[in-house]
Amino acid sequence: MGLNNAIVIGAGIGGLAAACALARRGVAVTVLEQAPAIREVGAGLQISPNGLAVLRALGLEKRLKAQGAVQGQAVVMQAFDKQGDVARLDLTQLPAQQRYLFMHRADLVDALARAAREQNVSFEFGTQVEDVVAGDMPQLTLADGSTRRAELVVGADGIHSRARVALNGADAGFFTGQVAWRAAVPNTVGHADVAMVTMGAGRHLVSYPLRGGALVNLVAVEERETWAEEGWNHPDDAANLRQAFAAFSGTARALIDAVEVPTLWGLHRHPVAAVWQRGGVALLGDAAHPTLPFLAQGANMALEDAWVLADHVTRGGTAALEAYQALRVPRVTRVIKVAEGNAWRYHLHPGPLRALAHLGLRTGSRFAPRRMLGAFDWLYGHDVTAGAPR
């Protein structure tokens, strides 16, 4: 394809990863970001082996560990009203290269931004993209009326993507009837290096350590009829979180009680974009396929997208963008379907169905742990960087 230059819209995880991957292949990249600077926002992330493969290929694994990324030992499921584990997925049994990390979103963004700058990627902050026009030389119109052109425009601008609208028209997401609070609190409970899923009736809490175990990240999901605004950075009163999880006790209760100012996130569903690319414009991450958080794959899918897109457009000839979409759609569609299916499993009410479901999890965890872990081979064992030049 002989790609010389590219503009990436959005300095989030997917956008920065795409900028790094393109720049490493000799493309001159400019990142446009509407915020005035890269700031510490968000809380924790679970980077599963498939996402870590991309970060490793970008040369960032050691840097992230130095920043306090925690290697996850297990995913543990427990019931809010009973002692003992319902199930334990032992992540130490994964192949040696398939590590599972917990890290602060800000630390990953910082590492990617530093790597991008080291590859001579340019940044323009406080830059709001108003319109995207695909074509032989795609054009962007900014809020100040100025324009930008590049051979490739990457829309990594999230759920409110202007690039997605340009390729697909507007779509109306629908409220799923679920909200999520996010927070990070001091680790005063000695939280193990595991992702703990505490399951309750119509709600669940996910917790795991960050920054060398100094903090614990919380994601608390509740089913409810009242709508909440889409997006993950809207402050809420901690009393609302505590009221929603009043029946939880033990470690989960202590963690929730420690929250001071959570953010509230209304979980909405949008379809996978019908068109990911046209006329030199390509989408990735949430701009192409917003993903519910019940499989912890939002950031990981964006990382995979970024690598595959960069690899295709710098090696794949004139049909590179079409090939990128064709390769990614089946995978992200499967991930989204599995994530949606997890929600009801976490939210079962006490009764025969919950008892049967938990018995199945407990039995599998105890007597066939490797088989349970093997059920994730299609996800964790998928390495988009395998065989590609780095």
Active site residues: 208
Q: State residue 222 phi and psi, 5-degree precision.
A: -130, 140
Task: List 104's β-bridge partners, or say none.
Answer: 44
- What is the crossing angle of helices 13-24 and 298-315, to 10°? 30
Largest separation between any pair of C-alpha atoms in the chain? 64
Token digits of residue 180: 């999520």
261-288 per-residue burial string, b: 16 or more CB within 10 A, e: under 16: ebbbbbbbebeebeebbbbbbbbbbbbb
DSSP 99: -
Taking the C-alpha atoms of residue 377 and residue 57, their distance in angstroms, rounded to an integer, is 20
Q: With CA atoms as reference, report the closest residue to 258 among 206, 222, 218.
A: 218
Q: Are strands 215-223 and 277-278 parallel, antiparallel or unpaired?
A: unpaired
Taking the C-alpha atoms of residue 266 and residue 251, their distance in angstroms, rounded to an integer, is 25
